[in-house]
Amino acid sequence: MQIFLTLETYRTGIAFHNEKVITIGVKASYEDKEDTLIWNEWDLGNEMELITKFYNFLNDRLNEIDSKNLKFFSKEKDVLERVFVYGFNITRFDIPLLIQKGVEYNINDLPDMNLMWGNLIVTDYLQLLLTLNRMKYHGLNWNNFARLLVKAGYKVPKIEISGREIKELYENGDYSKIIDRVNAKLEVLYQASKFLRSLDLRWIYSGNSRNFRGRSKRS
């Protein structure tokens, strides 16, 4: 199961201090179907309901996987299913903030929250791009990430709204533009997973550099 994750926050000071999660978006791919879900603080009434909705969704998906894996442990199937989570800068921001909010709203205690997230297979595209950017964060943003995919032949939407604009948009009640940004980011994450799966990097551990193949969508 694949889950593509992004969120938006209302920040009036420094990160994580009185920072409110206002939107959480996920694109889930499982059992040959895809679902895109976006929960908003302004629709649900408060941040606690938003965080609760997200964790209810995540726990439901984890329970589904656990049920399926009973067949693995009883030797009825050969593959152990896992939940793969993809995002951009999620290991430094989204996940720590979601853990913080989960504890704050008594979704779970900190050890169990860490255990749950620790059992997920997390891919942070920003961390992957560091290796292609001389280990520098400068220039690693959503728009440049999308441009990279366009150059590789993938059709991704332009992310019109910057993160700096979210505060003003939220205060002015211009929620549709926030939703547009979330939808665009989810599509970028989804297309990025296709791009990375097209790369064959087995030469790294096979010792044969001639096996390197990077296939764009055009090929």
The predicted structure's pLDDT at residue 218: 47
177: Cβ contacts below 8 Å, ≥ 6 apart: 160, 161, 165, 169
What is the pTM (predicted TM-score) of this model?
0.87
26: Cβ contacts below 8 Å, ≥ 6 apart: 3, 4, 5, 35, 36, 37, 38, 54, 57, 186
Class of residue 20 by CB neighbours under 10 A (exposed 0-12, middle 13-18, buried 19+): middle
Does residue 66 have a pLDDT over 90?
no
Does residue 23 have a pLDDT over 90?
yes
Assign residue 45 a region (left: φ > 0; alpha: ψ between -120 and 50; beta: otherwise).
left
Q: Which CATH architecture has domain 2-214?
A: 2-Layer Sandwich (3.30)
Q: Which two tokens stand for residue 110?
A: 């900190």
Helices (H), the chain: 41-44, 47-73, 95-104, 110-118, 125-130, 142-151, 166-171, 175-197, 203-206
- Report, as an integer, the average pLDDT of 119-129: 94
The predicted structure's pLDDT at residue 31: 73
Question: pLDDT band at 202, cuts 50/70/90?
Answer: low
The predicted structure's pLDDT at residue 112: 96
pLDDT tens per residue across span 166-185: 999 999 999 999 999 999 99
